[in-house]
A and B are shown apart, each in its own frame.
Chain A
Amino acid sequence: MIGNSIMPNVQSIPQENRQHFTVGSVTTQYFHFAHPPNSMELECGRSLGPLTLAYETYGTLNHDRSNAILVLHALTGDAHAAGYAQDRNQAPGWWDVMIGPGKGIDTNRYFVICSNVLGGCMGSTGPSSIDPSTGRPYALTFPMVTIGDMVRAQKKLIDSLGISRLLAVIGGSVGGMQVLEWAVRYPEYVVSAVPIATTTRHSAMAIAFNEVARQAIMKDPNWHQGDYYGRGQPGHGQAVARMIGHVTYLSEEALRKKFDRRLQDRGAFSYDFDTDFQVGSYLQYQGEKFVHRFDANSLLYLTKAADYFDLAEYYGHGSLAQAFAPAQSNFLVVSFSSDWLYPTAQSKAMVQAMKKNNLQVSFCEIEFDYGHDSFLVPNPPLSQLISGFLDKELRNLAPSYSCV
């Protein structure tokens, strides 16, 4: 069994060495809002409440509240971005390689907030949450949420923390979509924005993969129109959904380097339908792990939100240049050479729209083998880019503050 993930195992680092470059033990916090009689109007026309958003913070907010950075996670991520989760067996954060003392996002200098998303299942309100009106999980009665809804909820969280301007909003993949949404929806709040390995809208191919993932879940006999809570998850479908998704996050080269055509626990083909190849075994492991970690309905909702996202259509009547017209942030756009899910051309398209609006923008395609997930693995070029960019943004901010 290939138990290890393609990512390096952070837990293999001796405990005593961890504190030198991590934020240490952390606890997820919960922001509750939209209590009755209030609720949150969603873009689909329905309203929802009360709501909870899970988040974590690292570092210290400075006295003029100018060093706050909002980090947004990818499709199935969570609020636990850095450090070691006190309540979850010291599990490392999903971006612990990036966030911490002296790292790309330096918690000695910045106050970092990582927010989960509406519709998820990692502590925020989603289809697996209890509907207070019925006492049972929402399941498919949960309204469709959009990237815009997620960002509007995050805005309430940021307001509640007393922060009126974010030095940076940073995120990869679907987190990058949220970054773009933040920059266009709340321009005066976002000093700088770092969308990584992302797109302003899904290609037909990206939608296609998501459709396969959704169908795998919905065709599982245990799905029961989403009403499976307390009866056992649609595990087979969900695992297959993850397997297909996982392949799109990697690259041919990453898979070749890691597995090539090596066989699993055997010296020759079985000539039956056992999992002969290591890559198959690895994918199955990823699928099973995901079933334990995540809610199948949440995956349906979140992939749909990502498919619906279309910045040009929503904000620019189809014109991406027009969509970016309200933006004021300075941008750092990053893509990866091996990302075939959101290829570099899609990053270049947003850079082009930013240039047309005379926005300050830096762009770099990093040569990296890991495919779409390149931002999640130790990636020194990416860490340095983000670190240098943030340093400039903080310095540029300083004069206007000292003048006041």
Chain B
Amino acid sequence: MRFDLQTIASWITPRSRVLDLGCGAGELLKYLQDIKGVTGTGIEVDAEKASQGIISGVNIIHGDIHEEIRDYQDQTFDYVILSQTLQQVFRPALLLHEMLRVGHKGVVSFPNYSHYKNRLFFFFRGRAPMSKELPYAWFDTPNIRVVPIKDFRSFCSVFGFEILKETAISTYYHEEYGRKVRFLPNLLATYGIYLLTKKAPA
């Protein structure tokens, strides 16, 4: 399994209830189901991936994450995961509020846009950065947002999401191996992974 997914999996309590938004073919959920005994549901907009996941034995709803999440009652899940999808979300704050409405905790991971390679790409070539993590040109990218780790932190504090855990990792795109980045993560990490909860009212 991808290193970023391994990291997320290590945060999930056994036998918990998990909702995975944009779950693809349900790789993470399958792992969590088999290894940690979680009760999982995934939401995936791509019919092909959704059906692959269902065939592999995962509960998946083929649909749009923004619409599908609305149907769940408050606090239905222990964890709601948004893995590498944040950069494609039109209204991130709204979605995160929804995640923390239907779940106790949210897990959010995203490619760190301020990684030094992106900076060098932009600085030296003067063109929109492309990388293994963000391999698209400006005109065909599904990624409508650029999310540096630093900006995500301030976003959380502005919108009242408390960061319970934070890990920055460095890994090649979709690789099984990687390492945690403790020194200058905003510069050196390829991905940021966050465990969030709703800030208790002061």
Contact = CB atoms under 8 A, between A and B. Distances in A.
Q: What are the 5 A-B residue pairs with the smallest beta carbon separation, nearest first? A: A388-B55, A392-B57, A355-B71, A364-B62, A352-B71
A385 B57 contact: no
A247 B41 CA distance: 37
Contact of A361 (B47, B55, B61): B61
Given A364-B51, A381-B51, A389-B54, A348 B63 contact: yes
6 contacts: A355-B72, A356-B73, A360-B39, A364-B60, A366-B47, A384-B55
Given A364-B62, A388-B55, 10 more contacts: A351-B71, A352-B71, A355-B61, A360-B41, A362-B54, A362-B60, A364-B50, A365-B47, A365-B62, A388-B57
Nearest to A357: B73
B51 A385 contact: yes
Given A365-B47, A366-B47, A385-B54, A360 B59 contact: yes
Contacts of A159: none
Contact of B63 (A358, A360, A363, A381): A363
A361 B62 contact: no
B56 interface: yes
B157 interface: no
Interface residues of A, number: 25
A145 B30 CA distance: 44
Interface string A365-392: 1110000000000000100110111011
A389 B53 CA distance: 10
A296 interface: no
Contacts of A358: 73, 76
A384 B52 CA distance: 9
A348 B56 CA distance: 22
Which residue, B39, B55, B72, B73, has most C-beta atoms of chain A within 10 A? B55
Interface string B161-194: 0000000000000000000000000000000000
A358 B59 CA distance: 12
Contacts of A395: 57
B55 A387 contact: yes
A104 to B, nearest CB: 11
Contacts of A391: 57
Nearest to A387: B55
Interface in B67-116: 68, 71-73, 76
Interface of B: 39, 41, 47, 50-51, 54-63, 68, 71-73, 76
A185 to B, nearest CB: 23
A144 interface: no
Most buried by A among B39, B62, B76: B62
A384 B50 CA distance: 12
A365 B73 CA distance: 24
Contacts of B59: 330, 360-362
A365 B54 CA distance: 12
A384 B61 contact: no
B54 A388 contact: yes
B54 A364 contact: yes
A395 B54 CA distance: 14
Contacts of A362: 54, 58-61
Nearest to B26: A362
A229 to B, nearest CB: 47
A363 B61 contact: yes
A352 B71 CA distance: 6
B46 to A, nearest CB: 11
A74 interface: no
Contacts of A363: 60-63
A249 to B, nearest CB: 22
A332 interface: yes
Point out which of B47, B54, B56 has the most chain A C-beta atoms below 10 A from its C-beta: B54
Contacts of A355: 61, 68, 71-72
Contacts of A381: 51
Contacts of B63: 348, 363
Contacts of A389: 54-55, 57
Contact of A384 (B51, B62, B73): B51
A352 B58 CA distance: 18
A356 B61 CA distance: 14
Contacts of A366: 47, 51
Contact of A385 (B55, B68, B73, B76): B55
Contacts of B56: 388
A363 B63 CA distance: 8
Contacts of A387: 55
Nearest to B50: A364
Given A348-B63, A387-B55, A364 B73 contact: no
Contacts of A332: 54
A330 B60 CA distance: 12
Nearest to A333: B61
B71 A356 contact: yes
A305 to B, nearest CB: 30
Contacts of A361: 41, 59, 61
Interface in A48-106: none
A42 B59 CA distance: 37
Interface string A253-279: 000000000000000000000000000
A389 B56 CA distance: 8
A387 B76 CA distance: 28
Contacts of A360: 39, 41, 59
Contacts of A367: 47
Nearest to B68: A355
